[in-house]
Each structure stands twice: as structure tokens, then as C-alpha cells.
Amino acid sequence: MKSEYDVLVVGGGPGGATAAKAAVEAGLSACIIEKRPAIGTPVRCAEGVGEELLAEFIDPDPRWIAAKIDGARIIAPDGGELNLSPEMAGNEVGYVLDRKIFDRELVWQAAVAGADVFVKARATDAIVEDGVVRGAVVEYMGGRKEVRAKVTVAADGVESKFARWCGMDTAVPMAELETCAQYLMTGIDIDPSLTVFYLGNEVAPEGYVWVFPKGERRANVGIGISGKKSGKGHRARDYLETFVRRHFPDGKVIELIVGGVSVCRPLACTVADGLIVIGDAARLSDPITGGGIYNAMYTGNLAGKVAADCIRGGDVSREALMVYDRTWRESPMGKAIERNYKIKEFFITLDDEKLNTLINSAKNIEMDKFSTLTLVRELIQHNPRMLLELQALKKSLG
Amino acid sequence: MFSMLNIHREVCGYCGACVSVCPEGALELIDAYLSVSDVCVNCGICARVCPLGALEVVHEE
């Protein structure tokens, strides 16, 4: 490990790997430090990602595609089903990945492009001089050393500490942290081309249960619930057990996966002098689906490019790096997060009766091309008794 | 009265959900080891959100 790089990336997930690759491809020196001893494990993810979105960054490869998904089904609390075609289902269908292979491939590609990579190398503090972030103190092989960088990229995920050490408030409000548990199950009767989402305050309060196929008769079966609905005796794991006993009593669990997903708004500002924050660390997971792979890769790529421009221009101040912050906020990804945040805020107010009404009425809506506004407008027509709240939602979406 | 945050390490899945909600920045996930620093104020938010129930604020007289 050198003591100085152009770009130091803290965290070797999809965001960090993409950032490092973009940086070296722009002619910079870059280094990824990953605190865990292996890339891609333990998995903290339901592994769903949009096919078209992913294609922006990597060619599909059967080694890390566990299943190809053709559609989604939403199950209302009363059991009513709403089937969505891929176009309507949005960005979270396409592939269910094998993150252990996928993440490794991304870091591999960054390394081949020229980035340094160190595992079981952990940032223990930020180097901050006169308010400017200048790298990290790194614990590696029993010692601590300073690794300095012109730009540091915080890609340290939901459990991010780096931005906090640099003075940013990154704490996720308890109500906006989805606490999740998932089983990788085998021997279950599922449609291997369909993702299924179960809604309802009894099944998953302020969250949902997902069944994401990973091939024939196997799937990620998981749940996320709001942190404020979680507590002793009614935690994510408890709800998951209840669901699995009812729906897949004969299935076998070959992996337990736990984690947290933020569904808050992104950080108010995602740059500081010498620092760019990306992906889950910037609270950029989707507030409705919780999906964050593409968002991390998109912001990682952007961070690498902006870092290169700013380093070349000799100015890595917050003002100069703000190009990154403005660009992602104005991107389709940034706009989708803002829109989906508002929709999520609406959905968590619904009791099961209203959820049933909305989901069952949506069945009758014909849409050639999915548009949130069209959907809301149609829902208003179909549900005159929910006129006021739906109109408020429509207004908030502009 | 004395309060402190207990980590049941045999239950912890070291996922870091607790780290993200800690208002004080007291928790840190070091690979498979959750550490708590002395800035913890025993607010119990982490104990609420833990998906496995590995955290508990205990009170002693």
C-alpha cells in the first residue's frame, strides 16, 4: 500500500469498485480498501437489479446472474394479486444477482484497470487538515498507516462511518431504517421468472416481504420493516419466520442474511473539501424498493470522473466537487429517489383496507408505458373515496 | 442508576443496521465485531432496530 494516491476509495462494494475503475480509466492512481477479508461477502442484499440500468456499467455474464426476471407480482393484504410486466415493474426487475460473484468481478475489473486493492484493510479515521479531507488512517496487517489522497471517496455502505468522521451527520432516522432479514431457501415452489412482493401491516409493517428467485425452487425470501415497528418479539427475523412457516414450511434455509436499508432522503450534501460520498453511505438507496446497487454504481462512476476533472483542474474544494452532487440530483436516478420518497411517505400512511383497495383497483388500469403520474391519476378515478389523500400525493409529485 | 448497552455477540449478525441509526456515532462494525464506544448514551435506538435482537440496554441499581 502506497502512502499517497490521487483517489482513495473506502469500501469495496459495487459503488467503490466502480469509482476506482472510473478514476484509473481517467488516468488517476486509485486504491480500494475493504475492511472485510473477502469482497462480496457477507451478502447484505436481496440482489435484485434492473437489466437496462446495469448494462450501463457491465456486460451481463451468466456467472453472476442467478435468475432472469420477466415480471413482478404484488400481493395485497387480502391476497389480491397485481401482476406487473417488466416495463411497468420498473427498475428492480431484470436480474437477481449472485452478489458474491458480482462484487468480486467488479473489483477484479477495477484492479485490472490499474487500481490497487487491499482487503482486511480498515479506515479507522479520516485525515482532516484545515477542514480538508486528505485521506484515511488505515489499519492493515497489524499496523496503522496514513494513506493520503487528493480525493477520498466514502463508499462504506449503510454502516458508513467515514463521512461522519469528516463532520457530516449521516445518522438515519429510526423510522426510516428498514431492518431486514432474509433466508436463501431451497426446495420451495416458486415461479423462477417472477419476483413477488407481499404487502400489509401484519406481514411487514411499513415494509414488504420479497421472494426473489435464484433459479428453480430456490429464492431469496426476505423482509424489511420500519425500525419504528421493530422491537422485542416482533423483529424482522420474527416476521420472516412467521411468513416462511406459512408459505414455505418445507423449504430449507442455507443462508441467513441480515441488514439495514435506509429509506430516508439522501444526505443534504454529498461532498466536502476533498471528499465525495456515494451509494448507501450517502443514503441513496431507493425509498420504495430499497434497491441500491445501480445507485451506488452510478454515483461511484460519477465520483471517479468528477474527482479526475477536479484533480486535473487543481481544485478539490467542496465548491469544485459540488458538480458531483448537482449532477446526481438532477439525473433520472436523483429524480426517482425524490419522487419515490414522496410515494413512500404516502404508502406508509395506508392501513390494510386501503392497501387492498388500491392494489385491487390498479389491476384494472391499462398502461402502455408505466408512469407514476398516470397511475396516480387513474387511481384517483377508480377510488373516489380516497380522493383527498390521492390528490395530495399527486400534488406533491408535481 | 447505571445503564449500559449489552451486545449479545452470539446473536449479532454483524450487519451494521445499528451503526446507521446511532445518533452519537458510538457504534462501529469492525468486520464481524461490533464495537461500542464511551460516547454511547444508552438511548436504545439500536436495540429497537436490530433485526436479530442482539442489543439490549440494561439498567442496574
ipTM confidence = 0.97
- The mean per-residue pLDDT over the stretch A230-247 comes to 98
Cross-chain Cβ contact A259/B51 below 8 Å: yes
Q: How close A309 comes to chain B (CA, Å)?
A: 31
Q: For residue A234, give the nearest of A271, A274, A205 by alpha carbon.
A: A205
Judge whether residue A207 has pLDDT over 70.
yes
Q: Do A183 and A249 have their domain in common?
A: yes
> E strands of A76-131, at which residues?
81-84, 94-97, 116-119, 121-129
Cross-chain Cβ contact B15/A258 below 8 Å: yes
Confidence of residue A372 (pLDDT cuts 50, 70, 90): confident
DSSP state at residue A232: T
A284 lies in a domain?
A: yes
Q: Which helix or strand (DSSP H or E) is residue A300 part of? A: helix A293-312
Q: Do A83 and A206 have their domain in common?
A: yes
A54 lies in a domain?
A: no
Cross-chain Cβ contact A120/B31 below 8 Å: yes
Backbone dihedral region for residue A47 (phi beyond 0: left; psi -120 to 50: alpha; all else: beta):
left
Q: Do A9 and A112 have their domain in common?
A: yes
Contact residues on chain B for A174, CB-CB shorter than 8 A: 21, 45, 48-49
- Which of A237, A262, A287 is the last residue before a domain boundary? A262
Q: Which residues contact A313 (CB under 8 A, 6 or more apart)?
A: A320
Q: For residue A185, give the nearest of A223, A132, A231 by alpha carbon.
A: A223
Residue-wise pLDDT tens digits, A118-152: 999 999 999 999 999 999 999 999 999 999 999 99
Q: Do A233 and A276 have their domain in common?
A: no
Judge whether residue A398 has pLDDT over 80.
no
pLDDT at A189: 97
* Host domain of residue A33: 4-44+101-171+266-330
A52 lies in a domain?
A: no
Residue A325 contacts residue A318 (beta carbons within 8 Å): no
End-to-end CA distance of chain A: 50
Q: Which residue type does B18 have?
A: C
DSSP state at residue B51: S
User: What percentage of chain A exceeds 90 in pLDDT?
Assistant: 85
Judge whether residue B1 has pLDDT over 80.
no
A49 lies in a domain?
A: no
Q: For residue A386, give the nearest of A341, A338, A351 by alpha carbon.
A: A351
Per domain, the residue ranges of chain B are 2-60
Q: Do A350 and A212 have their domain in common?
A: no
Integer CA distances (angstroms), B9 to A156, A254, A313, in order: 22, 21, 49
Interface of A with B in 43-72 (CB under 8 A): 44
CA distance A194 to A148: 47
- Which of A243, A262, A281 is the last residue before a domain boundary? A262
Residue A49 contacts residue A195 (beta carbons within 8 Å): no
**Which chain B residue's Cα is nearest to A255?**
B13
A355 lies in a domain?
A: yes
Contact residues on chain A for B15, CB-CB shorter than 8 A: 44, 159, 258-260
- The mean per-residue pLDDT over the stretch A382-387 comes to 85
pLDDT at A387: 86
Contact residues on chain A for B23, CB-CB shorter than 8 A: 171
Q: Do A309 and A364 have their domain in common?
A: no
A290 lies in a domain?
A: yes
pLDDT at A228: 97
Confidence of residue B51 (pLDDT cuts 50, 70, 90): very high
Cross-chain Cβ contact B13/A174 below 8 Å: no
Integer CA distances (angstroms), A167 to A126, A132, A164, in order: 10, 11, 5
Average pLDDT across chain A, whole number? 94
Judge whether residue A91 has pLDDT over 60.
no
- Which of A330, A352, A381 is the last residue before a domain boundary? A330
A53 lies in a domain?
A: no
The hierarchical CATH code for the domain B2-60 is 3.30.70.20
Q: Do A118 and A235 have their domain in common?
A: no
- The mean per-residue pLDDT over the stretch A97-125 comes to 98
DSSP state at residue A187: S
- The mean per-residue pLDDT over the stretch A186-213 comes to 96
Burial of A114 (0-12, 13-18, 19+ CB in 10 A): middle
Please name the residue that has the C-alpha cell 440494561: B58
Residue A315, domain CATH = 3.50.50.60
Residue-wise pLDDT tens digits, A252-282: 999 999 999 999 999 999 999 999 999 999 9
Question: Which range, of A3-7, A162-166, A360-364, averages the lowest pLDDT?
Answer: A360-364
Q: Do A137 and A243 have their domain in common?
A: no
Question: Which range, of A210-219, A270-279, A378-387, averages the lowest pLDDT?
Answer: A378-387
Confidence of residue A288 (pLDDT cuts 50, 70, 90): very high
| Cis before A77 (ω within 30) | no
- The mean per-residue pLDDT over the stretch A338-367 comes to 89
Q: Do A36 and A108 have their domain in common?
A: yes
Domain total in chain A: 3
Confidence of residue A295 (pLDDT cuts 50, 70, 90): very high
Q: Do A244 and A323 have their domain in common?
A: no
